[in-house]
Amino acid sequence: MRGPSTVGAVCVLCVTVSIVVAHLFSLQDRGGALWGADLWAFLPPWSSEVALAGVVLAAWPVCRWVIAEVRSPRAEP
Amino acid sequence: MIPRSGGSSAWPRARPIVLESAGILLAIVVFWLARIRHVLLGDGLAVIERPPGTGGIHGFEPLTSLVQEGAFRLVRATAGSRTPEWQLIWTAVALVSIAAGALFVPVAWRLAREIEATGRERVPASDPMDPAAARSRRWTELLVLSILLSQGYMELFFGYVETYAPVVLANGLVLLTGIRYARAEGSLLAAGAAIVLAVAFHFSAAALIPAWLLIALWGMVRAPDRARARRDFALTLVLAAVLAAVLAVVRPGYSMPRSLWDVSLLAATGRQENAAYLLSWEHLRDFVNEQVLTGPLGFVAFLGGTVFAVVRGTWRRLEAGFAIVAGLGCTFACLRAGDSNLGYARNWDLLAPAGVIFIGSGLMLVRPLFDQARIWRQVLVLGAALSVFHTLPWVLVNASESRGVQWFETLPLGLGRTESTIGLWYAFRGRVDLAEHWLMRSLDRNPSNTRAHYFLGEIYLATGRPERACLAFGYALKLRPEKDEYRLELARALALSGRWPEARAALQPILEREPSRAAAWAFDGILLFGSGQLEGARAAIGRALALQPGDSLYARVLSEIQSRASVDRMLRDDGADLVQR
């Protein structure tokens, strides 16, 4: 069954990846280009790693669900 | 002990009150413990320089300035006399921020329930008496609540020194009451009172007026109880008129409708904005950063939810239409906002109150996308984790002065504004050496930074270098000849350097342009006294006293002149006070 829920979940995952990537990139670049997302760069590295692990854990069930949805056969119209 | 069960027990009715009270108390503790330890952002430095209410009501945020003024009086009355004034102001403004945050918690809770109610219409109806279903729904509501409470705009509640915390609270109320009315569950008057309150707290909430008008028009034309809607509409107008009248009485000469009209016109035409900046990549970068910082989920949720509502046609439902128009109003305001005199990143708080509209509307519009309760909960868990991942460091960085300054150093404000703000911060903290260093760096970046010139002049005056202060104030005045503050300080610096005729010449344009300005005459009196013209000095102070009879400062200056006090001391103490008037 692939429908709006799958599209929504994929969009949520894309937003998650974008925000996490922006945060990770900002750890390397403190030039101010990512001033809305570079806060972890000013805290101990372990803290961002712990927080990131939390996001990965929270993302896993959504990923698993999306994969299952994509693999499942389309429902007959 | 409160019983947890029992059909006739008072617990079911008391439970929400107990839980909300606990939530409010917990929020107060968290906001206070993790409060922001600097005032670099927004106009924080300017806010703590003068007590709230000095110079009249704030034109664009009348109610907030009155609330802050009341809080300041309360804090001053309860604090010891030894506490510096800036600390009292900081504490008072921080307490208003925290109080608004504490009240936001129950509003967010109710909003979370409304958002979750959107889903209940699509999810197969479960038995309302089924405890498992009720528990599941409560968990989902808690997840929505956790997202609402973990967006970047929450920083405004952490003792943030500015004027935006009350309007975040009021924006939440506007959204809540608007959605409830659109669902025929609340009254138009409640929604009207919320919008009046929000606009009175800060005019930026005017972006929500079209959304309120939408539901008001619907109510008066299409609602089953149109008579009630018309009455509520009229009562809202009366409420707004009463508030405007009260403000005009409290602050004579202030007209809220006129100020609102002026600022709306200014925002709509964008006359004060730099068109080149608005169309630049820098603006796009700043806009995205702003939405991430005040979110991170709000704007993307609103955008995605709106697209979904348009594709599926659900935008025709009144609550969806209300949410979309509210969000679009805020989007327009955010897109129109330019660089300002502070620099976009430092001015992040101006647009932050829109964050609650974006996330509230966004979650409501997105909700029907997920027709399975389980995947919706999983998405909410991810959203909450992502929001905490983003907002936690934002709060932690600001809860530390040194980290906050480090972060601020990286902001791309341009025009030497980052450096001048840090310089001013260090000056305020008494680190004159660092302040001078950063202000000089600011001028290296931008020799036309008048603020840097001005505050360097202040530092030179404070550290006994009046000749250098003359140069600094002279540059500042050359760049901004309309600023009387610069002119008065230049006159003071010239006088402290012993250049009396030049000092009087610097002051002259103010006396000619504004002969009713008592402080300028009192200042002239000090200058005349310093240049040995005792009679002229008495006459000038006499004129100031005639303009403002009984003023204690002018009376003191007169008695000091008569007792031949030290003119240097008068220039340093009384002169500094006169410049502030």
3-class secondary structure, B143: helix
Is A5 within 8 Å of B392 when comparing Cβ atoms?
A: no
Per-residue confidence (pLDDT) for residue B3, from 0 to 100:
46
Question: Hey, what are B136's tokens?
Answer: 């599941």
Per-residue confidence (pLDDT) for residue B120, from 0 to 100:
64
How far, CA to CA in Å, does A55 sit from each of A35, B206, B372, B378, B386? Answer: 21, 36, 22, 12, 6
Per-residue confidence (pLDDT) for residue B131, from 0 to 100:
80
Question: Rounded to whole angstroms, how far apart are CA atoms B222 and B209?
Answer: 19
Is A19 within 8 Å of B296 when comparing Cβ atoms?
A: yes
Greater confidence (B11 vs A16) lies with A16
Per-residue confidence (pLDDT) for residue B125, from 0 to 100:
47
- The packing angle between helices B318-336 and B165-182, to 10°, is 150
Question: Rounded to whole angstroms, how far apart are CA atoms B440 and B434?
Answer: 10
Is B393 within 8 Å of A22 when comparing Cβ atoms?
A: no
Please name the member of B345, B392, B411 whose beta carbon is closest to the beta carbon of A51: B392
| pLDDT at residue A76 tops 60 | no
Best B146, B302, B389, B406 member to test A by mutation, with max A CBs in 10 Å, is B389
Nearest chain A residue to B394 by CA distance is A39
Spans in chain B with pLDDT lower than 50: 1-6, 122-123, 125
B-chain residues within 8 Å CB-CB of A34?
A: 289
Per-residue confidence (pLDDT) for residue B121, from 0 to 100:
53
Question: Rounded to whole angstroms, how far apart are CA atoms B323 and B317?
Answer: 10
3-class secondary structure, B5: coil
3-class secondary structure, B100: helix
pTM, to two decimals: 0.91
How far, CA to CA in Å, does B502 sit from each of B51, B160, B486, B507, B528? Answer: 33, 43, 15, 9, 12
Best A1, A2, A12, A52 member to test B by mutation, with max B CBs in 10 Å, is A12
Is A61 within 8 Å of B381 when comparing Cβ atoms?
A: yes
Please name the member of B296, B304, B345 whose beta carbon is closest to the beta carbon of A35: B345
Question: Rounded to whole angstroms, how far apart are CA atoms B210 and B204?
Answer: 13
Per-residue confidence (pLDDT) for residue B2, from 0 to 100:
44
Task: Give the closest-approach CA distance of A10 to chain B in angstroms.
Answer: 10
Q: Complex ipTM, two decimals?
A: 0.95
Contacts of B150 (CB under 8 A, 6+ apart): B384, B387, B388, B391
Best A7, A39, A66 member to test B by mutation, with max B CBs in 10 Å, is A39
How far, CA to CA in Å, does B446 sit from each of A57, B86, B436, B477? Answer: 47, 29, 15, 16
